[in-house]
Structure 1
Amino acid sequence: MDPIQLFELVIAMFLAIIVLHYAAGKLDLPPSVALLVGGASLAFLPGLPAIALDPNLVLVIFLPPLLMDGAWFIALGRLRRHMIGIASLAVGAVVFTCVVVAVVTHLLFPSLPWAACAALGAIVSPPDAVSARAVLQRVKLPRRLQILLEGESLLNDASGLVLFRFAIAAGITGTFSAVDAVGEFFLLALGGVLVGVAAGGTWVLLARRLGDEYLIIAATCLLSWSSYLLGEMIHVSGVIATVTTGLIAGWYQHTVFSASIRMRGTAFWTVMIFLMEAAVFILIGFTLRGVVERGGGFGVVADTMLVPILVILLALTLARFAWVFGSDLVIRLCVAVGFKRYTPLGLANATILSWAGVRGVVTLALALSVPEGFPGRDFILVTSFAVILGTVLVQGTTLGQMIGWVKPVEPESERARLTMAQAEAAMAQKQLVTIQKLAYDSEGNLIHPRLLERYQRRATMIIDYAERTEEYQPGLHAHFDVVLAAIATGRDELIRLHRAGKIDNETLHELERDLDLEELSAISAKS
């Protein structure tokens, strides 16, 4: 494939993303499902060349920015509070699932070496950050479940990568040391944290000194790849490095970004992440053709691999249920003996947490990177793709219904201390204090009477609304409907004046920007 054809294929892929995403919305399907199935269907179109993905390139291109995006917006306070639970899922559940899958695979194929069985377990054991994001965006979860799933998806790739590396090494050399594996994991993780701290700290210094908002946005977009590649270059965990960098950058962006940078940068970053996230699923679908061809065709795959694959998929799912419910039982026992620091999940929350283990790009990339000639490589590749397909199509599409059935409950300790209205009231009071100080000159003369009156009236209204939110809610919606209608009328008149040649482009853009900001503010206040 020449470079022009490759570029045409990329453009066609992005056009397909728009069409499939739109279709998913109309059919009320998770976009990940539509993109995965659509990509798989497109892969078999006559005349379309087979798509061969370089697994290392896929990880380097897609994983860092998607990890950075998750870490940037994660609730850091809740992440710290639930770190033990997250570590249990990101490390304990991954290792346990790997062992279960390895044992089941060896029982199904006694002739397959243990190293190959362990490699398959390592490949399919970590739920995927991209897939988790795609699923969680469509459902409403209690905060505790949300942070457990988000934190797990950010950190478990490191566990899976270490297990995979040792399984492949054991298959090639015939030796394995659990002590070495544990030691290397902690060294990789610690090294990744140090690299992430260094990269995040450097970014904070740059963002405060660059001055030019376009340079700051560009540097921020390159931050994820810089952190990941630096970690991999010095042989520590690029995943942990990227996540650590994202946590630091997300914490400091509130103080180092101006309003203009935040609005422009967030808009650009959101579109980029949307395209990359969608491209991951459609590329996974594209690989189906090569996977099936390696397995000998649909007929051979169905005859020789279908039953073992279904058994492994069932074992994979049950292993997560066993770990989550077993961990919750341990917490209950601790509470029973008087150790009440942690609250049990409960049946409903544990069920949702168990059902939310969707696999994706990391599983595919690891499967594709299994060396040629490795025992059971074709079966590993087909099974890995089947696990992705099965978890996305089954768990990804039914998670919303599962939440509706079991009705998970938010513990009282996880609920926000202040509502949004109460937080806005506290902010308005602080603003009023500042205005009251600055509204007078050094001699005590009132020099900004209208400004003081405006902020006093605003603070009174916001505080009153915070105390009687339910009473004012319908009227508030009606109020901002009128505001939005007035903005639309003003926009029409502005465009008419420009079309008639009565105002120039500069005036149009300046006034249009003011209307845009007013409209965004009204929409935000109404929601």
Structure 2
Amino acid sequence: MHPVANFELIIGMFLAVLGLHYLARRLALPPAAALLIGGGALAFLPGLPIITIDPELVLVVFLPPLLMDGAWFTAIAPFRRHMAGILSLAVGAVLFTTLVVAVVAKLLMPSLPWAACAALGAILSPPDAVSARAVLQRVKLPRKLSTLLEGESLLNDATGLVLFRFAVAAVLTGSFSLGAATSSFFLLVAGGVAVGGAIGGVWVLLLRRLGDDTLMIAATVLVCWSAYIGGEMLHVSGVIAVVSAGLTCGWYQHVVFSASVRIRAMAFWQVLVFLLEAAVFMLIGFSLRSLLERVGGAAVVADTMAAPVLLIVAAVVLARFVWVFGVDTLLAAFRQAGWKRVTPLGPRAALVMSWAGMRGVVTLAVALSLPDTMPGRDLMLVAAFAVILVTVLVQGTSLGWLIQLAKPAEDANAALPLDLQAAEAAIFQAQLKSVERQAYAADGSLLHPQLLRRYRTRATAGEAFQGTAEERTAAIASHFDVIIGAVDAGRAELVQLHRDGKIDDETLHDLERDLDLEELAAAAAKG
């Protein structure tokens, strides 16, 4: 295709994304499912060229920013507290699923070498960070479950990619060393942590010296690709490097970003992540046509691959159930034996954890990177696509319903010393003390009466909202609804003044920005 035609196709795809997102909202569907189905349907439109995915390009373009987004907003303290559970999922569950899928594939196709079966297991085993984000950000989970699933999605790709590379190497060379693979895995992870931490540290030092909002935002956007490419160039885990850099940057952004940079950077980043996430699911859908042509058509898939592929999909789903419930049963036994430091999830939470295993772009990209000489390559490609379809369309769509049905309880240890209102009250008191120190002149005269009155009102405002937590929340929401309504009225008057020619564009933009910030503050305080 001509480069202009490629660009036009990309713009058309993003226009379709807007329509599919709107349709998903109207039909109460997860956008990921709508985009996947829509991309698959569009792929077969007459006149549309066959879209092929370059797996290396997909990984380097899409994976770093989406991993960075997850790591940036990860809460460090819960991440550390639940590290054992995260590693159990990100390493243990991936290894177990790889083993289960390899055994099932070997039983179904005895002629397939064990290394090829392991490669298939490594392709299908890690749940995808993009798919997890797309689903989890639209459901309400207890804090512990959310931390476990988000942490797993950040780290498990590294496990799956390393397993895949060793399995493919074993197929091509005919040899495999468990000791060498294990030591290499730990070196890749440790190297990724070091590279990502170093790049994050450079980012912190750089931002302290740039002094320009646009440059700071640009430098922030480039961190994820710098970490990934740097890690891969140094032959360590690029995935872990991105996660390490994201955790570092997310921790320090509160002290190196000004308010204006943070507002502008977050707005830009949200749009970027939205477009990249949408493009990922659209590209997965688009790849269906080229995949079917590659393996000989839908008839070949239905006649020769349907049964083994369905059994492999079932093995992938059931392996996660076995691992999650097995580990949780073991923890419950330890706790009953007197080891009170361990806290099992419980059957309801374990059920939700087991069902939240969506696969996505990493599975597809890794499957497409299989060498042409790989035994069973066509079956692996179809199995990868089938697992993505089932986990995103079935598990992703029904996860919210399952959470409502199971009602997993919040971890009793997750409660923090201060709730939102208490933390806000502490902030207001600190602000009041600062204003009180500066509101009076040396001779005791009051210099800033309006500021002092304003901050005293804010510091004591919480006392006006009495009752239960639900009643306080309703009263606060009503309070800020009035403020938002006043902002809307002010904005309407401002626009009318401009339309009547009574103010110029500069005044319009200045006052509009003030109203926007006031509305954002009120919406944040309300929500």
TM-score w.r.t. structure 2 length? Answer: 0.98
Please give the alpha-carbon distance, in whole angstroms, between the structure 2 residues aligned to 1:357 and 1:142: 17
Give the superposed CA RMSD. 1.3
Identity among equivalent positions (%) equals: 63
Change (3 A) 1:413 1:472: closer
| Structure 1 residues 395-410: aligned runs within 5 Å | 395-410=395-410
Aligned to 1:126: 126
Is residue 62 of structure 2 the alignment partner of residue 58 of structure 1? no
Aligned to 1:288: 288
In structure 1, stretches of 5+ residues that fail to align are none
Change (3 A) 1:476 1:404: closer
Does the aligned pair in 1 maintain the 2:348–2:408 contact within 8 Å? yes
Aligned to 1:489: 489
Aligned to 2:69: 69
Deviation at 1:436? 1.9
Deviation string 1:117-161 (CA, Å, 9 cap, x unpaired) is 111000000000000001101211101000000000000001001
Does the aligned pair in 2 maintain the 1:201–1:248 contact within 8 Å? yes
Deviation string 1:138-191 (CA, Å, 9 cap, x unpaired) is 211101000000000000001001100011001101001111111111000000
Deviation at 1:317? 1.1
The 3-state SS of whatever aligns with 2:226 is helix
Deviation at 1:414? 1.0
Please give the alpha-carbon distance, in whole angstroms, between the structure 2 residues aligned to 1:316 and 1:473: 43
Aligned partner letter, 2:47 = G
Please give the alpha-carbon distance, in whole angstroms, between the structure 2 residues aligned to 1:445 and 1:59: 64
Please give the alpha-carbon distance, in whole angstroms, between the structure 1 residues aligned to 2:180 and 2:239: 20
Aligned to 1:151: 151
Please give the alpha-carbon distance, in whole angstroms, between the structure 2 residues aligned to 1:174 and 1:64: 32
Deviation at 1:454? 2.3
Deviation string 1:236-257 (CA, Å, 9 cap, x unpaired) is 0000000000000000001110
Aligned to 1:364: 364
Aligned to 2:30: 30
User: Quick check: 193-202 or 424-433, which moved more?
Assistant: 424-433
Aligned to 2:465: 465
The 3-state SS of whatever aligns with 2:408 is coil
Aligned partner letter, 2:234 = I
Change (3 A) 1:473 1:334: closer
Does the aligned pair in 1 maintain the 2:466–2:472 contact within 8 Å? no
User: Quick check: 31-40 or 433-442, which moved more?
Assistant: 433-442
Change (3 A) 1:355 1:468: closer
Does the aligned pair in 2 maintain the 1:422–1:463 contact within 8 Å? no
Aligned partner letter, 1:235 = H
Aligned partner letter, 1:426 = A
Deviation at 1:445? 3.4
Change (3 A) 1:474 1:107: closer
Residue-pair matches, total: 527
Aligned to 2:91: 91
Aligned to 1:433: 433
Does the aligned pair in 2 maintain the 1:197–1:248 contact within 8 Å? yes
Please give the alpha-carbon distance, in whole angstroms, between the structure 1 residues aligned to 2:466 and 2:123: 50
Change (3 A) 1:280 1:458: same
Is residue 4 of structure 2 the alignment partner of residue 9 of structure 1? no
Aligned partner letter, 1:321 = F
Deviation string 1:467-492 (CA, Å, 9 cap, x unpaired) is 76544444433333332232222212
Aligned to 2:270: 270
Does the aligned pair in 1 maintain the 2:230–2:238 contact within 8 Å? yes
| Structure 1 residues 274-353: aligned runs within 5 Å | 274-353=274-353
| Structure 1 residues 383-402: aligned runs within 5 Å | 383-402=383-402
Change (3 A) 1:29 1:257: same
Does the aligned pair in 1 maintain the 2:199–2:245 contact within 8 Å? yes
In structure 2, stretches of 5+ residues that fail to align are none
Deviation string 1:356-391 (CA, Å, 9 cap, x unpaired) is 000001000100000012111111111111110111
User: Quick check: 147-156 or 311-320, which moved more?
Assistant: 311-320
Aligned to 1:214: 214
Deviation at 1:274? 0.3
TM-score w.r.t. structure 1 length? Answer: 0.98
Aligned partner letter, 2:219 = A
Deviation string 1:290-325 (CA, Å, 9 cap, x unpaired) is 111122211110111111111111111111111111
User: Quick check: 210-219 or 480-489, which moved more?
Assistant: 480-489
